[in-house]
Amino acid sequence: MIHYKTGLESRSRILQAAKSCFYENGYKKTTIAMIAERAEVPQSLVNYYFKKDALLLQIHEDYITSILRFVEEQVGNRLDNILQGHLLMQQIQQMGIYRDAKCAEVYRYMVDNGLLSPRLTEIVDTYLLGCIKEFGIDLSPERYRQYLVAQYGAHRELVRVYLRTYDPVESKRLFYFTGTISLRLAGVGEEIIEENIQKADRLLDEIDTSRIRFLP
């Protein structure tokens, strides 16, 4: 039991050190040696637990998990449907990244290199499929996958090409749109989507998201 606890503590220290190093130096300039020094552990121990890319994936996964927990705790009983939960999660995630240029730089690297956590894809897929079923739309698995590809592609291009600076109003509008592309293609009405965006926006204004940060 003591060995297990020590292992968890070391792993946690490594992750926290990696978050600080990625934030301060950027992902490409950060080395395993720098992370080990910050965590005050041998470099071999960092390599034992994580490869460098795996560190970034784990940090991103922990970030997504913290947002899910936050939404449930803060407004879970006030959500009318799955779509509102999806919209809130998406906006909180992007705000926690793009309000800080250093966080945004690391995230853009992740998007450019396909390093987003599989946990995020799993969550988004589940939310969107739940939304489509909730609105009574019958889609074949193949067509649903095509719509998801369109949505992920739009998000990727938004991050890589168009979103070079963060504007709280305009960026929020763009993320609401790209986050609902698959639903629009599936036939969910514009009025329904807009009504749920407005409700999600009201809930977002009522909660303090300042502590939800991707890094450090």
What whole-number distance in Å separates Cα of residue 159 and Cα of residue 176? Answer: 13
What pLDDT digit, counting tens, does each position of 5-63 carry? 467 788 999 999 999 999 999 999 999 999 999 999 999 999 999 999 999 999 999 99
Give just the sign of the alpha carbon dihedral 170, 146, 104, 12: positive
The answer to whether the beta carbons of residues 131 and 82 sit under 8 Å apart is: yes
Q: What is the CATH number of domain 1-50?
A: 1.10.10.60
What whole-number distance in Å separates Cα of residue 183 and Cα of residue 128? Answer: 7
Could you tell me what percentage of the chain is helix, strand and coil, using 3-state DSSP and rounding each to the nearest 5? 80, 0, 20
pLDDT at 216 over 50: yes
Mean pLDDT for 145-161 is 89
The answer to whether the beta carbons of residues 20 and 13 sit under 8 Å apart is: no
The model scores a pTM over 0.85 = yes
Among 1-10, 24-33, 100-109, 150-159, the least confident range? 1-10
pLDDT at 212 over 50: yes
pLDDT at 121 over 80: yes
pLDDT at 90 over 60: yes
Quick count: other Cβ atoms within 10 Å of Cβ 198? 13
